[in-house]
Amino acid sequence: MRAKTFRKGIHPPGHKERTAGLPIEVFPAPQKVVLPLCQHIGAPAQPLVAVGDEVTAGQKIAEAQGMVSAALHASISGKVTAIEERPHPAGRNLPAIVIENTGGEGFSPVPEAKPGRPLAEITGEEIKELMRAGGLVGMGGAAFPTHVKYYPPAGKKIEYVILNGAECEPFLTCDHRLMLERPAAVLYGLKAMMKAAGAKRGYIGIELNKVDVIKVLQEEARGDETIEIVPLRVKYPQGEEKMLINAITGRVVPAGGLPVDAGVVVNNVGTAAALADLLQTGKPLISRVITVTGGGIKEPKNLEVPLGTLLEDVLAYCGGLTDSAGRIVLGGPMTGPAHYRLDLPVVKGTCGLLVQTSEEIGDMEYMDCIRCGKCVEACPFSLLPNYLGLYAEKNRLEEAERYGVMECRECGSCAYVCPSRRPLTQWIKDAKRKITAAQRKTG
């Protein structure tokens, strides 16, 4: 199979064997869910319910605030017991709506959805409105409100919709399983996105380590000239938005620009499936598939969990932690943050729960840069991560900016290859944060 790819990048071991063959299990509604008002990039949602209210699954409980924001829906039926600050995967306490399960069944679909209609009868404008009403955000991890991407700035046109099925992060298999088990939903979602965007072509990029999915989707899309399933080389960060666009279309998104500047919109395959559910059944974004894996987990699984389910409940369902568990990562090992508490909820952008053993953590001491150049060879954006790291470490932000620090997408490739184990990505993130803060200040 001929596969496309981008230049540079790295080849970390995949470690997907633990869960790649495990069908998605549906996680039973937990006793309690904690639904943060901000599970997306943008303004937090505004609560529509009060403590003591009874809610049913699917009911809107918080409204989006402004364009870049997302609505929030109850993921289980029950009673609102608190609206207060709770631990959030962002690393601090943030406002959340807590719902206790009262055993109620019920489900209230998104009222605007009018399920049961064929796609031909739904207009592009309606689809965009539904993305907004259903609280859809990018499910690959960034959690950017989906509808925003479908309102391109004046003068820009979307020609292609690309679904990201690369799943280039090691260990994760949730997208793999989703595409394999629900190919029709993924394709339906893609067609709906193309309609919303007025795009002429749709692509699904999938790494060659998922040949089964490539075949299934190719079969499913047979006869549709507007959709192409694109095999991609197994390389990290193949699923990075700009690298994916480059691999599939050959186009280069200008530095500092957005995919729409290259006439492209990229969405995760999980988002496409969620859109299909929304259009076909009226189900808003209230659950997602996550991969629970790693040497520190007794029974690794692919799970469809209600949003707001706490990590401790997920872990208990997977047999708990092994004695050697030493580090918990939300998402994949390349970009996911490590956490020290288990009362965090699964949010819209959570794609996995990786538990590493103490042995896998290894030595964290780092040495001086020996200028080996491995980070330069790895960086998909052709930056000089060693210098960015040095400047960031020494707080020389102007030089870091001159060397393109803001172009970094924090994929982690540089730190991965560094033989001196320098935390380059961390320094770079820190510098970016400081520069952005300074720019805000000066306005």
Partner 1 sequence: METPQLIVSPAPHIRARQSTAGIMWMVVTSLIPAAAAGVVLFGRPALVVIVSSILAAVLAEAFCQRVTGRRITVGDGSAVVTGLLLALTLPPELPWWMTASGAAFAIIIGKQVFGGLGHNLFNPALAGRAFLLASWPGAMMTWKWPAASLSWAGESVDAIGGATVLGLARQGFFAKHGVAVPYSQLFMGNIAGSLGETSALALLIGAVFLLAFRVIDWRIPLGYLGTLAILALLAGQDPIFHLLTGGVLLGAFFMATDYVTTPITPGGRFFFGLGCGVLTFLIRIYGGYPEGVTYAILLMNAAAPLLEKATIPKRFGEVRADV
Site for partner 1, rule CB under 8 A: 10, 12-13, 170, 242, 246, 252-257, 312, 315-316, 320-321, 325-329, 333-342, 354, 356, 358, 360-362, 364, 367-374, 376-377, 380-384, 386, 404, 407, 412, 415-421, 423, 425-426, 429
How does strand 227-232 pair with strand 301-306? unpaired
Peptide bond into 109 cis (omega under 30): no
Q: How far is the CB of 361 from partner 1 (least distance, A)?
A: 6
Q: Which two tokens stand for residue 106?
A: 């019920």
Q: How far is the CB of 84 from partner 1 (least distance, A)?
A: 21
Residue 21 CA to chain centroid, in angstroms?
21
Select 63 or 410, whichever has its Cβ closest to partner 1. 410
Q: How far is the CB of 263 from partner 1 (least distance, A)?
A: 14
Select 116 or 337, whichever has its Cβ closest to partner 1. 337
Q: Whole-angstrom Cα distance, residue 24 to residue 289?
A: 8
Select 70 or 330, whichever has its Cβ closest to partner 1. 330
For residue 4, CA distances in Å to 228, 243, 248, 334 come to 13, 11, 7, 22
Select 51 or 370, whichever has its Cβ closest to partner 1. 370
Q: Are 293 and 19 in contact (CB under 8 A)?
A: yes
Q: Tokens 């799970």 — which residue?
A: 303
Select 200 or 402, whichever has its Cβ closest to partner 1. 402
Q: How far is the CB of 96 from partner 1 (least distance, A)?
A: 20
Select 123 or 324, whichever has its Cβ closest to partner 1. 324
Select 7 or 117, whichever has its Cβ closest to partner 1. 7
Select 180 or 311, whichever has its Cβ closest to partner 1. 311
Select 13 or 443, whichever has its Cβ closest to partner 1. 13
Q: How far is the CB of 367 from partner 1 (least distance, A)?
A: 6
Q: How far is the CB of 153 from partner 1 (least distance, A)?
A: 18
Q: Are 244 and 3 in contact (CB under 8 A)?
A: no
Q: In what order do the strands lie in the sheet with 54-55?
A: 32-36, 93-101, 78-87, 54-55
Q: How far is the CB of 334 from partner 1 (least distance, A)?
A: 5
Q: Which two tokens stand for residue 172?
A: 């994760």
Q: How far is the CB of 16 from partner 1 (least distance, A)?
A: 13
Select 180 or 392, whichever has its Cβ closest to partner 1. 392
Q: How far is the CB of 319 from partner 1 (least distance, A)?
A: 12
Q: Which two tokens stand for residue 235?
A: 């390389």
Beta bridge mates, 137:
145
Q: How far is the CB of 112 from partner 1 (least distance, A)?
A: 38
Q: How far is the CB of 374 from partner 1 (least distance, A)?
A: 8
Q: Whole-angstrom Cα distance, residue 359 to residue 143?
A: 32
Select 144 or 427, whichever has its Cβ closest to partner 1. 427
The answer for residues whose C-beta is within 8 angstroms of residue 274's C-beta and 6 or more apart is 134, 136, 139, 189, 285, 288
